[in-house]
Structure 1
Amino acid sequence: MPKKLDWIISGWALLAGILTFLIVLATTVNTAAFGADKIARMFGENVSGLSGYEDFVRLVISAAALMFFPYCQRQKGHVAVDLFAEQFSIQTQDVIESITLILTIIIALFLAYWMTLGMISAYEDFASSPILGWPNWPFYIPGVVSLLLWALVAAMQLSTKKGRQ
């Protein structure tokens, strides 16, 4: 795997981790506000939660979730059926891995294509979050990039595999 691609994938996963941290932070603050509101109501007061919390979490998680996939593929951290595959010969295991990599590339590119169409549709429809009013289409971009990176990593792994055979 080229060092630059490895660096991009690691940075992409780190950014996803930061987004996930922001989701956890917003959830913590919103939960604390809910608890504080219960106490404040006993004294005739109220504490409101974060306005647009649900919008924020929905949009950011839609971006962050797919951003881990390329890193996971690079680490070969995806689901593998090693329980029965390890009983096969090395050649059979290599064929299964090649087929899996090819299917991964096809699926990732297929999803990237449809996600791009969804992004264009969201842009043309002026789709936005109900509370915050943020446009939805920019949150598709990390997903499309993630799917393309995922396919690229799988393709690099496949080409490296072919080079060894």
Structure 2
Amino acid sequence: MILSRIVVWLARMLALLGGIVLIAVIIMTVASITGRAFVRFGLGPVPGDFELVQAGVGFAVFAFLPWCQLNRGHATVDILTVFFSRRVNHIIDLVTELLMTLAIGLIAWQLYYGMRDKLAYGETSFILQFPQWWPYAACFMASVIAAIVSVYMVAVRFNELRTGAPIAVSGQGSMH
């Protein structure tokens, strides 16, 4: 139970952080567009706005991934599975969790190597000149948490297959 609480807390806090970053990106975008509209009054766009949008939205995507994984928020197609037995559906759920875990692990691995390359070459953004490894590091850390949540969800799906009963992890989300 304590592991479940830790995983849910990690996923929730990361999703909240991603939401805060996304709200900041939205506010900055509105300020930049407003500044462009009122250039004649001495305002202007936010310098490097597109760089900040890229970094912020990229992080937000990875920040939401663990919460989505935890709550079974990924797209599913239930056209055929409704005709299958509960056991077959549990097997399908376990296989899809395993595949998702492999995909998230591969993404985390590639983000790590991308971050190392950006750090080694000292790449910076064009306008703001912030190191390009910073957004990679933020996305990498979020992907590591997503991988932890995904491994946990494989264990949950395995227990569902073993016991035959669905297990609610966070009390939210959909149960198929």
- Please show how residues 7-156 of structure 1 align to structure 2 within 5 Å: 7-37=9-39, 40=40, 46-156=42-152
Structure 1 residues 60-114: Cα deviation after superposition (integer angstroms, max 9, x where no partner): 2222221100000111101111222112111111111111011011111111111
Number of residue pairs matched by the alignment: 159
Q: TM-score, normalised by structure 2?
A: 0.84
**Partner SS state of residue 101, structure 1:** helix
| Gap runs ≥5 in structure 2 | 163-176
Whole-angstrom distance in 2 between the partners of 1:160 and 1:56: 37
Q: Which runs of 5+ in 1 are unaligned?
A: none
Runs of 4+ in 1 over 3 A off after TM superposition: none
Query: Identity over aligned residues, as a percent?
Result: 21
1:9-49 CA distance string (max 9 Å, x none): 10100000000001100110011112222xx2xxxx65321
RMSD, aligned CA: 1.5
Separation in 1, partners of 2:116, 2:89: 40
What per-residue deviation string (whole Å, max 9, x for no partner) do you get for residues 110-151 of structure 1? Answer: 111111000000001111100000001021122112222222
Q: Is the partner of 1:131 in helix, strand or coil?
A: coil
How far apart are residue 4 of structure 1 and its match? 1.8
TM-score normalized with structure 1 length = 0.90
Question: In the alignment, which residue of structure 1 is the partner of 2:169?
Answer: none
* Cα separation, 1, equivalents of 2:135 and 2:22: 14
Structure 1: distance between partners of 2:151 and 2:36:
47
